[in-house]
Amino acid sequence: MKTYFIEFSYLLASILFILGLRGLSHPETARRGMHLAEFGMVTAVIGTLLQREIISYEWIIAGLLLGSTIGLAMGVWVPMTAMPQRTALSHAFGALAASLVGVSEYYLHGAKLGEFRMSAVGFEVLLGSLTTTGSLVAFAKLQGLVPGTPLTYKGQNIFNLSLLGVTIGCFCILLFHPAAAALFYLMLGLAFIFGILLVLPIGAADMPVVISLLNSYAGLASAATGFAISNNVLIIAGTLDGGSGFILSIVMCKAMNRSITNVLFGAFGSVTETAAATSTGDMREANLGDVGVQLAYARQVVFVPGYGMATAQAQHALRELADALEDRGVTVKYAIHPVAGRMPGHMNVLLAEANVPYSQLYELDHINPEFPTTEAAVVVGANDVVNPDARDNPQSPITGMPILEVDRAKLVVVLKRGRGKGFSGLENPLFYKANCEMLYGDAKDSITRLTQAVRQA
C-alpha cells in the first residue's frame, strides 16, 4: 500500500510541476503556477520520506529545519533588487546537492556500479560540480565581490577547452573502469575548477543568459540524480528545469543577437573603443522643473526601466510618477527589453512588486513602432538596451542586438547616477543626441522630485 502511495505522490508531483511551469509562462498566471509547483514539491518530499531505504530521520529533520530556516531568511530579508544574486545562490545550492548525492552513491557502491548507473552518477557529479562553482562566481560578479568585466588571459579558451576535455576523458574512462576512485575524485576537482574558469571570462552584461544556462545545468544534474537513485520525480522535474532553462538561454541570446558560444567564449565587454568612436558632443543636463512640465503636458510617456531602477529601488516611486501623469490624462506605458537587468524577467518582477498593471508593459516589438509619436521616453538606469550603436554602428560589439529605439522619441530623459558607462563597459551615443537630456543622481530621488514637478505643473 505504501508503495502505491509513493508512486501516486510522484505522479501527482510531476503533473503539478508541469502545470506550474505552464502557469509561469504568463505573468497573469505566474502566481498560481508557483503555488502549484510548491504543492508539487511538498507532495514529492512527503513521498520520498516514506521510502523504505530511510533508516533514520534525525539527519533528515535536521537538514529540513536548517534548510527551511535559511530559505525563510533569504525569502524575507533578501530585497527584490538582489533577486539575481539570490537566484545564482539557489542554483549553486541545488547543483551542490545533486553533486553530493552522486559522490555519496559512488562512495557507497563504487566498483559495483554498472555502466548505466556510473554514467548517471558521473554526469550528475560533473555537471553539478561545475554548476556549483560557476553559480558562485556569477553571484560574486552580481554582488560586486568580483569585477563584472571579463577576466581573461592569453590562451584562456584553449586552456578551458583542454581542461573540459580532460574532465570528460576521466568520465569516459570511469564508464568502463568504475573502480578507479582516483579518476572519479580527479574529475570532481577538475569540474569544480572548470566551473570557475567558465564564468570568470563572461561579462556581467551577459549574466541573464549565464543564470538561465546555469539553471539548465542544475536541472540536468538533478535529472541525472534521478537516474542514479531510481527516482522518477527527480528525472521529470530535472528534465523540465533543464529543458526550460536551455530554451530560455536561446531566447535571450536571440534577444541580444548573440550565440551561446559567443556568450561563453567571447569575453563580451572587454573591448569598447569601436563603440566610443561614435560618441561626440556633450551630454546636456536636464532642468528638473522643465522636464516635469514636458511630462505633464505630454500625450504619451514611455518608461524604460533598467538595472539602475533596481539598484535605486525606484520601482514604487516610478509607479507614483505614473499615477501622477495618468491623473493629468497622460498615457503611460513601460517598455521591457528581454535582457534588461541581471536575470530573466528582472524588470517584470520589480514592476509587479510595485503593482504596475501588466497591461501597461510592452515588449520590444510592440513598443518600438510607437516611439516616433511618443512625446517623452524616460530611461531609468538602462544603457545597453537603448544603445543606438546596435542599430547604426556596424563596428560596435553589440551590432545587430535588438534595442528599444527610444532615440526616435521627441524627448528622451535619461536618469543616471553619473557619467559612467553601462555594465557592459560600452559608451552610449544616445546620451549625446540633441533630443536627449540627462538627469543625474539617485533614480528614486530624481523620480520623487519629478513627481512633485508634474503635480505642480
* Residue whose C-alpha cell is 542554483: 91
Q: What is the largest CA-CA distance in the chain?
A: 79
Grid coordinates representing 252? 535571450
Distant-in-sequence, close-in-space partners of 393: CB < 8 Å, separation ≥ 6: 274, 275, 278, 399, 429
- Of 402, 398, 404, the closest CA to residue 336 belongs to 404
> Can you tell me the distance from the alpha carbon of 329 to that of 391, in angstroms, rounded to the nearest whole number?
33
Backbone torsion region of residue 328, taken as left when φ is above 0, otherwise alpha when ψ lies between -120 and 50, otherwise beta:
alpha
> Can you tell me the distance from the alpha carbon of 223 to that of 261, in angstroms, rounded to the nearest whole number?
24
> Can you tell me the distance from the alpha carbon of 210 to that of 229, in angstroms, rounded to the nearest whole number?
29
Grid coordinates representing 223? 535529472
Q: Can 241 be counted among the known catalytic residues?
A: no
- Sign of the CA dihedral running 55, 58, 59, 62: positive
Length of the chain, in residues = 457
- Of 214, 208, 3, the closest CA to residue 98 belongs to 214
The answer to whether the beta carbons of residues 341 and 84 sit under 8 Å apart is: yes
CA torsion 308-309-310-311 (nearest 10°) is: 50
> Can you tell me the distance from the alpha carbon of 302 to that of 333, in angstroms, rounded to the nearest whole number?
5
Instruction: Say whether 439 sits in a helix, a strand or coil.
Output: strand
Q: How many helices (H) and strands (E) does the chain have?
A: 18, 6
> Can you tell me the distance from the alpha carbon of 126 to that of 57, in angstroms, rounded to the nearest whole number?
29
> Can you tell me the distance from the alpha carbon of 53 to that of 63, in angstroms, rounded to the nearest whole number?
17
> Can you tell me the distance from the alpha carbon of 394 to that of 95, in angstroms, rounded to the nearest whole number?
40
Catalytic-labelled residue, pool 241, 384, 389, 407: 384
Grid coordinates representing 28? 497573469
> Can you tell me the distance from the alpha carbon of 185 to that of 321, in angstroms, rounded to the nearest whole number?
57
Chain centre to alpha carbon of residue 257? 17
Grid coordinates representing 7? 508512486
Strand pairing class (411-416; 436-440): parallel
Q: Which residues are catalytic?
A: 384
